[in-house]
């Protein structure tokens, strides 16, 4: 049985902001994102993580992506990487990142815009004894996982955010099969990969290990544009990082993220229209929504 995500539920689950606190009080995120071909994805997901409340957000990417992101959000910390032949992060640098963050409890956000480098990057960052406090896997990281490019248990506190096509690849199904039983697909993802699964689409579903399924009623067709998922992934990572510090769960972070993302889109559509609104427009509306919720 699906449970509905409500405004009051989100208000209760959102991490608080304490008067006596500092950036270390709200966790940190490392976004392994972007490539020469997909630069905007890194900009959107890192801003999403910052707006989601993480105390520190690092971006690991190639230098042209770093330059774009810092021009938009100078609050982001840069971990510049060499460019591989495919235009993505050099895998040797990804391996060095894992070692560098080994004693820094951090949420890994992997996938947005990684392109052809995703398999090598994820193989280096994930796998046995990965140091991450949690992880959010999206886009190219999910495609690499589905293709068997990296194996082993995912880190504790992992959230995956597939759209129906990615979910189909992860489960060995067709998209029509996923869409015909979205709840079953979401539960199967959570059980197969031992993580919280966010199955995106009309009425996004959040499934947790154990069978709990949440249904989100916010959002509209204005989100059907490239970049919307990058924002959701970043927002989820930011909420996860801040929430883990306060005893919140990955399920809590995912529930809050999908509701906030959709609520911001609903507000944005009223002032921009579903046709003209852009994913980047959501950040202004997200701020208003969080303010109304006292955060």
Tokens of 260: 């906030």
Flag whether 230 is marked binding. Answer: yes
Flag whether 194 is marked binding. Answer: no
Flag whether 249 is marked binding. Answer: no
Flag whether 229 is marked binding. Answer: yes
Which among 259, 270, 247, 278 is positioned nearest to 52, based on CA atoms? 259
Flag whether 41 is marked binding. Answer: yes
Flag whether 113 is marked binding. Answer: yes
Known binding-site residues for AMP equal: 200-204, 229
Known binding-site residues equal: 41, 113, 163, 200-204, 229-230
Known binding-site residues for (6S)-NADPHX equal: 41, 113, 163, 230
């Amino acid at each position: 049985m699906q449970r509905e995500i409500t405004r009051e539920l989100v208000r209760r689950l959102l991490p608080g902001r304490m008067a006596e606190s500092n950036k270390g009080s709200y966790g940190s995120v490392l976004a392994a994102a972007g490539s020469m071909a997909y630069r905007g994805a890194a900009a959107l997901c890192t801003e999403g993580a910052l707006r989601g409340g993480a105390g520190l957000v690092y971006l690991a990417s190639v230098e042209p992506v770093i330059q774009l992101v810092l021009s938009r959000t100078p609050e982001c910390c840069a971990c510049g990487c060499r460019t591989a032949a495919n235009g993505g992060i050099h895998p040797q640098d990804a391996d060095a990142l894992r070692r560098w963050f080994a004693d820094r409890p951090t949420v890994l956000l992997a996938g947005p815009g990684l392109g052809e480098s995703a398999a090598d990057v994820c193989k280096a960052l994930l796998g046995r004894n990965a140091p991450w406090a949690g992880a959010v896997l999206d886009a190219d990281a999910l495609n690499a996982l589905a293709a068997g490019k990296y194996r082993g248990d995912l880190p504790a506190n992992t959230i995956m955010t597939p759209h129906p096509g990615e979910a189909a690849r992860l489960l060995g199904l067709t998209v029509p099969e996923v869409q015909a039983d979205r709840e079953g697909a979401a539960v199967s993802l959570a059980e197969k990969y031992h993580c919280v699964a966010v199955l995106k689409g009309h009425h996004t579903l959040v499934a947790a290990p154990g069978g709990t399924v949440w249904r989100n009623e916010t959002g509209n067709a204005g989100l059907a544009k490239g970049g919307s998922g990058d924002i959701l992934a970043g927002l989820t990572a930011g909420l996860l990082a801040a929430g883990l510090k306060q005893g919140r769960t990955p399920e809590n972070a995912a529930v809050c993220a999908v509701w906030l993302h959709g609520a911001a889109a609903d507000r944005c559509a009223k002032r921009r229209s579903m046709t003209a609104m852009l994913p980047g427009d959501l950040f202004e509306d997200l701020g208003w929504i969080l303010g109304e919720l006292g955060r």
